[in-house]
Each structure stands twice: as structure tokens, then as C-alpha cells.
Amino acid sequence: MKQVHPKEKDVQKQILEWLELKKYVCHRNNTGTAFSEYKGKRYMVKYGAVGSADIICILPPNGRYCGLEVKGWGKHLSEHQQSFKANIERVGGIYEEVHSIEEVENLLKNF
């Protein structure tokens, strides 16, 4: 029988709800491109930093940056995300690939 894994967006929602329940300061971080039209001209707007994490948290007690990149089953960080992770870690922040609430709980119990 084929094992069913939750969708990435559902895991993301569960993680955000758990973080809010635990009183972490966090938000969903969107990145991408949007197209718009104004007075007959089309515009392309890019938003968010390429490679940045899905969820941004500020960890107590000292306000340490923590980026959580939520991935679906069997998925891994892209090259842009690996580069962003290296930059965050270089300056003392945390950037982790997570697949479940349990992984987030295990990560944050050390802080």
C-alpha cells in the first residue's frame, strides 16, 4: 500500500499554528513574481529574497534569526536556498529544512 504524506502547504500551516501557540514571533515569508498593469503598461514585480525560508522566526531570548524551509516528502533545498542558508549561518543565524512539526520541535527545544 502506498504511504500518503501530507502536502507541503498543510505542514507549513501546522508549523505556523504550533509556533504561534508556543508564542514564537514568526511569519510566513512569500517570494516570487507578480504581474500587474497600470495605465496600459504591464509591470513585473519581484518580491522576497531568492532562497529565503518559508517561515521566519525570531528566537528568544536574544532575537536570533531562524529560517524554516518547509519541504514535502523527498524534497530538498534548491541551490538558491543552500546559498541563502550558508549566508544566514555565516552570520550566526539558523536556517533549517524541515518536513514536520516534530522536526521543528526538536530543533527549537535547544533554544
- What distance in Å separates the CA atoms of residue 88 and residue 68, rounded to the nearest whole number? 12
Q: Running DSSP on this structure, what letter comes out for residue 26?
A: E
Q: Please write the tens of the pLDDT for every residue from 28-75.
A: 999 889 999 999 999 998 888 999 999 999 998 899 999 999 998 889
Question: CA of 11: how far to CAs of 62, 67, 93, 98, in Å?
Answer: 27, 15, 23, 9
Give the pLDDT confidence score for residue 110 in this predicted structure.
Answer: 79
Q: Which band of pLDDT confidence, cut at 50, 70 and 90, is reported for residue 1?
A: low
Whole-model pTM: value is 0.87
Give φ, ψ of 91 to 5 degrees. -100, 15
Q: Please write the tens of the pLDDT for every residue from 10-32.
A: 999 999 999 999 999 999 999 88
Q: Please write the tens of the pLDDT for every residue from 91-105.
A: 999 999 999 999 999
Residue 53's Cβ-side half-sphere holds a number of Cα atoms within 13 Å equal to: 26
* Element containing residue 90 per DSSP (H, E): helix 79-90
